[in-house]
Structure 1
Amino acid sequence: MRSVTILLLLASSIWATSSVQAQPRPQPDDLVPLPELPDPPSEEEIPLPDLGLDPSLEPEITIREGEDETIEEYRINGHLYMIKITPRIGKPYYLLNRRGAVGGPHRGDIMDSDVSVPMWEIFRF
């Protein structure tokens, strides 16, 4: 008896929602169409943020291979300014020192607003 009651409740809820969705919604008279969006840039076209470094200086890159990830450390004059982490599975991400290669901590000062947190691409259209 319980299963019949549950089945009837489920069927009636499906019927009720289908009748509500079938009604057309009125459109406003002053509706303006949305502008066309430009195509998103490819991964190669996305620049890293400007850290105020001299572009003529070539960075020292230290690559450390791990079991689950590859870590690339970028230094100028011995100061760490960027870390690129490439996981075995997934997209790479960057940790940046927004102060540039001035010798500050590579994760930023917690009290500053320029803390750089790792960011991943969740979904791409």
Structure 2
Amino acid sequence: MQRLEEADITLIERRDGLIREYRFGGRLFMVEVIPRYGRPYYLLDTTGDGMLDTRRPGLGPDFVPPQWILFTW
């Protein structure tokens, strides 16, 4: 099981806030948006199709990053 602390994180600083991109194996699975004004929120790829399809206002202590089967034989 992968933990959020093990993800590769890319920080993007902008005038209007900060964006953190979280990746496992080069694959983007979550973006944290921290606007200069307003509340932070998260965009998640919950289906593994590369689309950030879920928006959440926060992550609970039991949050587990989405995991997908990449190959099976």
Instruction: Say whether the fold is shared (TM-score over 0.5).
Output: yes
Aligned to 1:93: 41
Secondary structure of the residue that 1:89 maps to in structure 2? coil
Which has a greater percent of strand?
A: 2
Question: Tell me, which stretches of 5 or more residues in structure 1 are unaligned?
Answer: 1-52, 108-114, 121-125
- Number of aligned residues: 58
Write out the 4+ residue segments of structure 1 that deviate beyond 6 Å after TM superposition: none
Aligned to 2:64: none
Mapped to 1, the partners of 2:4 and 2:46 lie a distance apart of 19
Is 1:60 equivalent to 2:5 in the alignment? no
More contact order relative to length (CA 8 Å, sep ≥ 6):
2
Partner AA of 2:30 in structure 1: M
- Structure ID, larger Rg: 1
Which residues of 2 match residues 15-30 of structure 1 at below 5 A? none
Within the candidate set 108, 113, 116, 2:54 is matched to: 116
**TM-score, with length taken from structure 1:** 0.40
Identity of aligned residues (%): 36
Query: Aligned to 2:6, what secondary structure does the other structure show?
Result: coil
Kindly report which structure 2 residues correspond to 1:34-113, keeping only aligned pairs within 5 A, or say none. Answer: 54-55=2-3, 58-99=6-47, 104-107=49-52
Q: Is the 8 A contact 2:7 2:22 kept in 1?
A: yes
- Compute the TM-score of the two structures, normalised by the length of structure 2: 0.65
Give the aligned CA root-mean-square deviation in angstroms: 2.5
CA distance in 1, matches of 2:8, 2:30: 11
Structure 2 distance, partners of 1:84, 1:56, is 12
If each structure's helix is expressed as a fraction of its own residues, which one has the higher value? 1
User: What residue identity is the alignment partner of 2:54?
Assistant: S
How far the C-alpha of 1:99 sits from its partner, in A, is: 2.6
Q: Name structure 2 gaps, 5 residues minimum.
A: 59-73
CA distance in 2, matches of 1:90, 1:56: 24
